[in-house]
Amino acid sequence: MTKAQDILALSGGVGGAKLALGLADILVPGQLHVVANTGDDFRHLGLHISPDIDTLLYTLSERANPVQGWGLEGETWNTMAALEQLGAETWFRLGDRDMATHLWRTQRLHAGLRLSACTAELATRLGVASHVYPMTDDQVSTTVHSDRGDLPFQHYFVRHQCEPVVTGFSFDGISAAHPNRELMRLLQRKAFGTIVICPSNPFVSVDPILQLPGLWLALRESPAPVVVVSPIVAGLAIKGPAAKMMAELGMEVSALEVARHYCRRYPGLMDRFVIDDSDATMAGAIRDLGVDVAVTSTVMKSRADKQALARFVLQRDGG
């Protein structure tokens, strides 16, 4: 049923969603499968919020807000304004249209639906042809260990604007969590032609996915090559705190160090590492880690950039 050339992508939020959109654009509808990090999920105002799933669904349905980089285009903020008048917590901004997603999902989850089923239904209702999976239906919560103590991810990321100095991360609940069943089933069936790890944050977006029991080994055992796109370009993170985290963890802030991270934690997983032209001088050192290196422009500004990187990653332009 599933064609051999289906593509699997592992993604966090904004950065990963960009490449996912590029991949969806160049593939046949339904050929792309995206596994989203859910370590950032949390309950807020009584709502179940899945930031990375939503960013993926909004991006893939072309509803994403291109300016703020999260949330919906043409959003309004009247519920937040009224919550502010009530003296409620408003550090996590929920737009009025976005609210519908959280209300809908929370209600479905209360009714007993699994997050994966909610996500599939939401994708259908938003007109997303790609398959989007939460990494697990179980609760896994990313905690950021920092100089201000242990912070739930969204408190670190949004409330404190990534200001605390990080010392490490933990993914509460992960050892008891089951990776997404459909994903594991597809991996067993060798359904994928390529497995792409999007240029998402290695520590808080990709690690939670890969560290689910059995998941990274299943990816390694899969005959599909695993291609990682570096989220670090010229020593900077395109989006988010990845570079800041690396510096605070005492790591060199470079694509090479990202490659080392993946090789160290998941030996034998990565087949090819895609770096930006500006990091071409690191190619040799990365090859010394035992992985192929491919060099291209990895910065995705336009829709064409996204599609070009997607083609390159899938070696559809001979890259």
Contacting positions for a copy of itself (CB under 8 A):
45-47, 76, 78-83, 85-88, 96-101, 103-104, 106-107, 110, 122, 125-126
CB of 200 to a copy of itself, least distance (A): 26
CB of 48 to a copy of itself, least distance (A): 9
CB of 197 to a copy of itself, least distance (A): 30
CB of 83 to a copy of itself, least distance (A): 4
Measured from the Cβ of residue 75, the count of other Cβ atoms closer than 10 Å reads: 17
CB of 260 to a copy of itself, least distance (A): 43
- Cβ closer to a copy of itself: 158 or 251? 158
CB of 60 to a copy of itself, least distance (A): 15
- Cβ closer to a copy of itself: 80 or 299? 80
| H or E element, residue 110 | helix 96-110
Could you give the CA distance from residue 110 to residue 104 in angstroms, rounded to a whole number? Answer: 10
Both structure tokens of 243:
């570079």
- Cβ closer to a copy of itself: 1 or 86? 86
- Cβ closer to a copy of itself: 68 or 281? 68
- Cβ closer to a copy of itself: 82 or 304? 82
Could you give the CA distance from residue 74 to residue 29 in angstroms, rounded to a whole number? Answer: 26
What is the residue-wise DSSP string for 58-74?
A: HHHTT-B-TTTSSSBTT
- Cβ closer to a copy of itself: 105 or 239? 105
- Cβ closer to a copy of itself: 80 or 162? 80
23, 274 Cβ separation under 8 angstroms: no
Determine the 3-state secondary structure of 208 from DSSP.
Answer: helix
Cβ neighbours for 304, distance < 8 A, ≥ 6 positions apart:
none
CB of 250 to a copy of itself, least distance (A): 40
Residue 206, classified by CB atoms within 10 Å of its CB into exposed (0-12), middle (13-18) or buried (19+), is buried
Beta strands in the chain (DSSP E): 6-11, 32-36, 42-44, 47-49, 131-134, 141-146, 149-152, 166-172, 192-197, 226-229, 232-233, 236-237, 272-276, 292-296
User: What is the Rg, in whole angstroms, of the alpha carbon atoms belonging to the chain?
Assistant: 19
